[in-house]
């Protein structure tokens, strides 16, 4: 090889080596820069897309906005996090390249949270297409992402591996935009929220969380709101009070209550739960007993309704043990399944709306299907009673319930009536339809007093009045007073058994200078 050729070869090799050492101009291969962050942020700044930020404390953003570019990575050390405070913002839009909030150790609860606080700048508080993982390490704010009395925009984010819940939305966050997020593999429920924020939580995806509920963490709603079906049931951890507002619940919503909690409608509150398209469910968590639904006399009950709802496992309130309690309340209760109460299915105190209390199905309610005062029992209409032995109507007598003072009829509803304590009829007539069966509790009785009448004509179907237990003297008697209205006192084709327990008025029928018709 001559000298000229050697020179040419050396030059070519040099050129090739030089080309190999050049780095292509590409944003994909920009050098990653790592920063340690150990101070609060007091002036607005930007964390760049090619940066890894190691957060070494619980950083507060005060009167400033932190902007995080697409592709940036934020790693939190133990017990660290970010707090967005008054007049501040955190703007992390990863639409072009996901932004990561994570931990080196990749253990649940390794860091605390991203916190949006009261009076943060809503327009500057955005998390879009971000990954938030391994947070939830704070006992006071049990979520990897916390919003308190603020309205950030959070969408298209993946929130996972929190030690506790994925997201906590507490206080008044009405107006928050929270949708199209994925919350998975968290150590508790995916979301905890105050009741008033639920309408602002859009559709999200929930997978493999320890508790498959959306937790409602307070007990009051006082806004006119609508609750739509969510992918998960709602768990009312402290029960719920509806006051001075209307809550509408749409088809397929499921609400679960812990033991000793319930749903109370009062103070002009109104509940409209219309499951006409598909049933709405109210039940106890893990089939444990909860208190039930109570319509107080102060509720706007004439506008309230439960339509095609399933109400299960209630009746745990000692004073009013039932799945549904109506206290001088005229709510519509129709086409509902009322079941598995530890008390009654429905407890009616005072007046109600007979025309709107219809076509309900009762099953396996321990103390009976319906409990009603004697002076309101005539208002009961046809229901779908099952065949189990708990399906009877408990009729409450006694001084606290009041006397029967208005004409009425105990209809044949194809289930027995069970009379608790004694019933007094004054200046009115009680008619008992053919075929009715009445069980009398211990020492109870029926007293027909001043200008009153009892018409029990079983000509077309025998009427039975007997003791709840089958032994002589279990209950007292049917007593016709001297001043009863004789022409309205008739016992025809009735079977009367196991009474006579009042030694001062011996006999199952006692006529005190009164001459009723008693035959067949």
What is the predicted pLDDT for the residue at 27?
38
What is the secondary structure of 51-89 as a DSSP string? EEEEE-SEEEE-SSEEEE-TT-EEEE-TT-EEEE-TT-E
Each residue's pLDDT, cut to its tens digit, for the chain (520 residues) gives 444 444 334 333 343 333 333 333 333 444 577 778 889 999 999 999 999 999 999 999 999 999 999 999 999 999 999 999 999 999 999 999 999 999 988 999 999 999 999 999 999 999 999 999 999 999 999 999 999 999 999 999 999 999 999 999 999 999 999 999 999 999 999 999 999 999 999 999 999 999 999 999 999 999 999 999 999 999 999 999 999 999 999 999 999 999 999 999 999 999 999 999 999 999 999 878 999 999 999 999 999 999 999 999 999 998 899 999 999 999 999 999 999 999 999 999 999 999 999 999 999 999 999 999 999 999 999 999 988 888 999 999 999 999 999 999 999 999 999 999 999 999 999 999 999 999 999 999 999 999 999 999 999 999 999 999 999 999 999 999 999 999 999 999 999 999 999 999 999 999 999 999 999 9
- 3-class SS of residue 21: helix
Based on the domain organization, do 46 and 181 belong to the same domain? yes
In a domain, 354, yes or no: yes
What domain range is 313 assigned to?
A: 241-391
380 exposure class (CB count in 10 Å sphere: 0-12, 13-18, 19+): buried
In a domain, 11, yes or no: no
In a domain, 301, yes or no: yes
Based on the domain organization, do 307 and 212 belong to the same domain? no
In a domain, 226, yes or no: no
In a domain, 49, yes or no: yes
Based on the domain organization, do 197 and 293 belong to the same domain? no
CB under 8 Å to 13, separation ≥6 — which residues? none
Based on the domain organization, do 323 and 383 belong to the same domain? yes
Based on the domain organization, do 68 and 171 belong to the same domain? yes
Based on the domain organization, do 452 and 358 belong to the same domain? no
Based on the domain organization, do 381 and 481 belong to the same domain? no
Based on the domain organization, do 43 and 66 belong to the same domain? yes
Do the beta carbons of residue 106 and residue 131 sit within 8 Å?
no
In a domain, 310, yes or no: yes
Based on the domain organization, do 39 and 169 belong to the same domain? yes
Based on the domain organization, do 280 and 136 belong to the same domain? no
With CA atoms as reference, report the closest residue to 102 among 73, 79, 128, 127: 73
Based on the domain organization, do 65 and 208 belong to the same domain? yes
Do the beta carbons of residue 391 and residue 370 sit within 8 Å?
no
In a domain, 236, yes or no: no
Based on the domain organization, do 414 and 288 belong to the same domain? no
In a domain, 19, yes or no: no
Q: Rounding to the nearest 10 degrees, give the CA dihedral for residues 205, 211, 216, 217.
A: -130
What is the predicted pLDDT for the residue at 3?
43
What is the predicted pLDDT for the residue at 380?
96
Number of domains comprising the chain: 3
What are the angstrom distances between the C-alpha of 322 and each of 294, 319, 367?
9, 9, 9
């Amino acid at each position: 090889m001559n000298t000229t050729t050697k020179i040419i070869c050396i030059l070519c090799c040099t050129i090739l080596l030089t080309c190999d050492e050049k780095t292509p101009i590409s944003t994909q291969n920009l050098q990653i820069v790592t920063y340690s962050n150990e101070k609060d942020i007091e002036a607005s700044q930007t964390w760049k897309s090619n940066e890894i930020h190691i957060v070494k404390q619980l950083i507060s953003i005060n009167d400033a906005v932190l902007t995080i570019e697409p592709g940036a990575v934020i790693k939190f050390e133990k017990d660290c996090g970010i707090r967005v405070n008054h007049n501040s913002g955190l703007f992390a839009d990863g639409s072009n390249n996901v932004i990561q909030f994570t931990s080196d150790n990749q253990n649940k609860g390794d860091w605390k949270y991203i916190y949006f606080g009261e009076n943060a700048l809503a327009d500057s508080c955005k998390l879009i297409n971000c990954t938030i993982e391994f947070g939830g390490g704070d006992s006071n704010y049990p979520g990897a992402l916390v919003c308190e009395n603020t309205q950030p925009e959070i969408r298209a984010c993946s929130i996972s591996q929190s030690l506790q819940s994925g997201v906590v939305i507490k206080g008044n966050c009405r107006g928050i935009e929270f949708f199209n997020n994925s919350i998975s593999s968290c150590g508790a429920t995916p979301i905890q929220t105050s009741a008033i924020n639920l309408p602002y939580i859009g559709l999200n995806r929930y997978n493999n969380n320890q508790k498959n509920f959306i937790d409602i963490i307070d007990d009051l709603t006082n806004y006119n709101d609508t609750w739509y079906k969510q992918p998960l049931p709602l768990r009312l951890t402290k029960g719920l009070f509806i006051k001075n507002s209307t809550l509408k619940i749409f088809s397929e919503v499921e609400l679960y209550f812990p033991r000793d909690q319930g749903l109370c409608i009062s103070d002009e509150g109104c509940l409209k739960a219309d499951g006409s398209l598909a049933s709405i469910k109210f039940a106890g968590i893990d089939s444990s007993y909860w208190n039930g639904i109570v319509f107080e006399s102060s509720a706007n009950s004439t506008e309230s309704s439960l339509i095609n709802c399933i109400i299960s496992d209630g009746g745990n309130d000692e004073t009013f043990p039932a799945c549904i309690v109506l206290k001088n309340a005229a709510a519509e209760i129709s086409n509902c399944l009322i079941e598995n109460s530890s008390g009654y299915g429905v407890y009616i105190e005072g007046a109600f709306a007979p025309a709107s209390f219809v076509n309900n199905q009762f099953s396996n309610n321990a103390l009976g299907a319906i409990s009603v005062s004697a002076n309101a029992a005539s208002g009961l209409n046809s229901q779908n009673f099952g065949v189990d032995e708990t399906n009877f109507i408990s009729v409450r007598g006694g001084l606290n319930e009041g006397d029967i003072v208005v004409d009425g009829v105990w209809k044949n509803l194809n289930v027995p009536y069970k009379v608790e304590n004694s019933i007094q009829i004054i200046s009115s007539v009680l008619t008992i339809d053919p075929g009715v069966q009445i069980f009398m509790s211990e020492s109870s009785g029926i007293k027909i007093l001043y200008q009153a009448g009892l018409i029990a004509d079983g000509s077309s179907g025998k009427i039975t009045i007997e003791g709840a237990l089958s032994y002589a003297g279990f209950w007292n008697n049917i007593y016709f007073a001297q001043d009863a209205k004789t022409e309205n006192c008739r016992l025809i084709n009735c079977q009367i058994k196991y009474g006579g327990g009042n030694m001062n008025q011996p006999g199952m029928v006692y006529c005190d200078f009164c001459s009723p018709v008693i035959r067949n």
